Amino acid sequence: MDKLSEKYLRPKKIPSTACSGCGLGQVHKRVLLAMDELGLNVHDVVWGTGIGCAGRQTFNTWKGDNFAGTHGRVYALAAGLRMALPREKKIVLTVGDGDAFGIGLKHLLHCARRNLDMTVIVADNFGYQSTGGQFGLTTPPGSVTDSSPYGLGETGWLGPELDILEILKAAGATFLARHLSLDGKASVENVKRALLNPGFSLVHFIYPCLTHFGAVSLSERDKGKVITWFKGLFEPGAENPDLERLNRRVDPGFLKLKRGLYVDASGSRADYSQSLKDWTKNLNRDGPDPVGTGQGAKK
């Protein structure tokens, strides 16, 4: 255990039960680094998780208070919890791509619309990997997976024409960023900004899965080779001698992802949970009947 995990994580949950070579630990570490640099303590954060690799592997790793929601609904749970928590407590959610962009997208969008103060870390491994490697909402087009044996024909949420972060931006999210799990300081800086935004923040981390996506879609389990391929998602010009071989079962047209900060509108819009609290506190309780029922609001 390093210093960071000693400070923030539960010894019982270390080492993680993630597969060898999984990039999820890197994502987790970026978040902890950001917290450390901001000087956050264990009791400053309530940590929620979803279902799937990202949720199960991170649940109750946090030394403070934890919850794991039903699949795709952790955003609605967090919305209710937000009303019960004081402003200074932060809610951090680590969820997977299926949880956030598939089953939970509706609730996620409504949290963005209300600009509820929470930081959603989407740890994206390009599909449903904990169930054995089915394609998901961010799996590259053309990918051969266990549920797209002839190659994925459906359009997902990730590509040059259709980007889930643009949808979240339109829905009102006030902080959005995208990184590869290998990104160092830049990603930590963006997680810090996300944590400081008093509204809805989401950081999309793409991380390599060797066990399923690597092995099946790229036909490659070598960590270094898979990582080089993942780097190429963001840097189309990057040298990769194996590119042609690895791309036999995915669509190379995919390689145009924008990296880093997408939206930083921190503080530009009120967090609805806070405005509802303020409004309720300042409500004129002796005022006239608001709806004219004759019953009177106060009764």
Partner 1 sequence: MRKVFDTGNAAITEAAILAGLNFYSGYPITPATEIAENMSRRLPMAGGYYLQAEDETAAFHMAVGAAMGGMRAMTSTSGPGYVLYADPYGWAIGSEIPVVILNAQRVGPVSGITGAPGQGEFYLSRYPTHGGNFETIVLAPEGVRDAFELTIEAFRLAERFRTPVTVLADQLVTDGWEAFEVPEDAFELERLGLPLPKRKAHQGPDFYPRSDGIDIPPVVLGRGTGGACSDWTPTEEGYDTEEIEAQMKHSYRLIYKIRNNRQLIDRSVLTRMEDDPPVVLVSYGSPSRVVRKAVKEGRAKGLRVGAISLKSLWPFQDALFKKDKIHLVVELNHDGQLVREVQRASGGRVHFLGRCGELPTVSELLEIARSLFGGGRPRPIKNVREAW
Nearer of residues 185 and 299 to partner 1, judged by Cβ: 299
Between 86 and 149, whose beta carbon lies closer to partner 1?
86
Task: Return the structure tokens found at 213.
Answer: 């996506």
Evaluate whether 191 touches 175 at the Cβ level (below 8 Å): no
Minimum Å gap between C-beta 94 and partner 1 is: 13
Task: Determine the distance from the C-alpha atom of residue 250 to the mean position of all C-alpha atoms in its chain, rounded to a whole number.
Answer: 24
CB of 73 to partner 1, least distance (A): 5
For tokens 């054995």, the residue is: 132
Q: Reduce the DSSP state of residue 206 to 3 states and report it.
A: strand
Q: Smallest distance from the beta carbon of 290 to partner 1, in angstroms?
A: 7
Minimum CB–partner distance for residue 48 and partner 1 (Å):
9
Residue with tokens 């992802």: 257
Which H or E run includes 130?
none
Residue closer to partner 1 by CB (options 184, 279) is 279
C-beta of 86 vs 153, nearer to partner 1 = 86
| Range 102-116 burial, b when 16+ CB lie within 10 A, else e | bbbbebbbbbbebbb
Closest to partner 1 by CB, 185 vs 291, is 291
Please state the closest distance from residue 130 (CB atom) to partner 1, in A.
13
In the chain, the amino acid numbered 106 is K
Helices (H) and strands (E) in the chain, counts: 11, 7
Q: Which is nearer to partner 1, 56 or 221 (CB)?
A: 56
**Residue 228 structure tokens:** 């080089």
- In the bound state with partner 1, the residue whose beta carbon lies nearer, of 110 and 259, is 110
SS3 275: helix
In the complex, least distance from residue 272 CB atom to partner 1, rounded to whole angstroms:
9
Measured at the CA of 39, the angle between CA 114 and CA 59, to 5 degrees, comes to 60
**CB of residue 293 vs partner 1: minimum separation in angstroms?**
8
Integer Cα distance of 10 and 7 in angstroms? 9
Are the beta carbons of 76 and 99 closer than 8 angstroms?
no
The CA distance from 168 to 111, in Å, is: 10
Residue 70 C-beta: closest distance to partner 1, Å: 5
Residues at the site binding partner 1, with contacts judged by CB under 8 A: 12-13, 42-43, 46, 51, 56, 59-60, 63-70, 73, 76-86, 89, 106-107, 110, 276-277, 279-281, 283, 285, 290-291, 293, 297-299
Cβ distance to partner 1 smaller for residue 68 or 180: 68
Residues 146 and 213: their CA atoms lie apart, in Å, by 9
93: part of which helix (H) or strand (E)? Answer: strand 90-96
